[in-house]
Amino acid sequence: KELNAYCSGIGIQQLYTNPYSPEENCVVEKSNYTVMNKVRCMLQACGMDNRYWGEALSYVVYTENRSPTKALGGKTPFEALFGRKPNIDHLRQFGCTAFAFIDKAKRTKLDPRATKCVFVGYASQHKSYRLVDCDSGQLFDCRSVKFTEDFVPADEKKVQFNDQLTTHQLQEYEDTDDVESTSTTIIPREQVSQDSVGASTKAPESPISTNQSDQGHVS
């Protein structure tokens, strides 16, 4: 109702699309499709739960408004609206590890001075970062934060998986030494030479030992 009253007050006529007809509003629908694709990719890349999709959506929109676009001649939407270039020094990688400072009033002398978190965006009402506590999973805002942008929590799972895979492969190679059926001997074809009196002599045989486990293995 407030939106309808606002539009009527400034002379805006609202037009609605028909049900189940997104093609009638293709520009907006395409934008929503692109944004949600980025949201899904970020959540999966960081190994985060889908319940944080709202934070990921806000992060995508925030960065898109501060990114150059061809539709505005290389300008950012922020610059087109406010007439000045945005400050991007505070931008950080979504899902990276962050350490939020704990105020003295909330800790003792022996307590840690920071808590490990995951960065998920920026606060909407004040200048601070939006974080998720790694232990409790709670969302909170903090101004004093240190980031480790080259590491995300999902990397721990990837490293662990790769280590297990490498160990399995090494064990498989080590077990082949105890299997007799995998080793064979190949005898070269006989090479016959004729002498002056018609006698034939065989070339010395040199058996070549190969291992079937080394053949046909493609990494």
User: How far apart, in whole angstroms, are the C-alpha atoms of residue 128 and residue 120?
Assistant: 12
Each domain of the chain, given as residue ranges in start order, spans 1-91
User: How far apart, in whole angstroms, are the C-alpha atoms of residue 117 and residue 114?
Assistant: 9
Q: What is the pLDDT along the chain (219 residues), one digit of tens a residue?
A: 899 999 999 999 988 889 888 888 888 889 999 999 999 999 999 888 899 999 999 999 999 999 999 989 999 999 999 999 999 999 999 999 999 999 989 999 999 999 999 999 999 888 999 999 988 888 999 999 999 888 776 655 443 333 333 333 333 333 444 434 344 444 444 444 444 444 444 444 545 444 444 444 444
Residue corresponding to tokens 């001075």 = 113
DSSP secondary-structure letter at 24? G
pTM above 0.85, yes or no: no
Given a contact cutoff of 8 angstroms between Cβ atoms, the answer to whether 95 and 118 are in contact is yes
Cα dihedral sign for 139, 141, 144, 150?
Answer: positive
Angle of the 53-64 helix axis to the 26-46 helix axis, nearest 10: 120
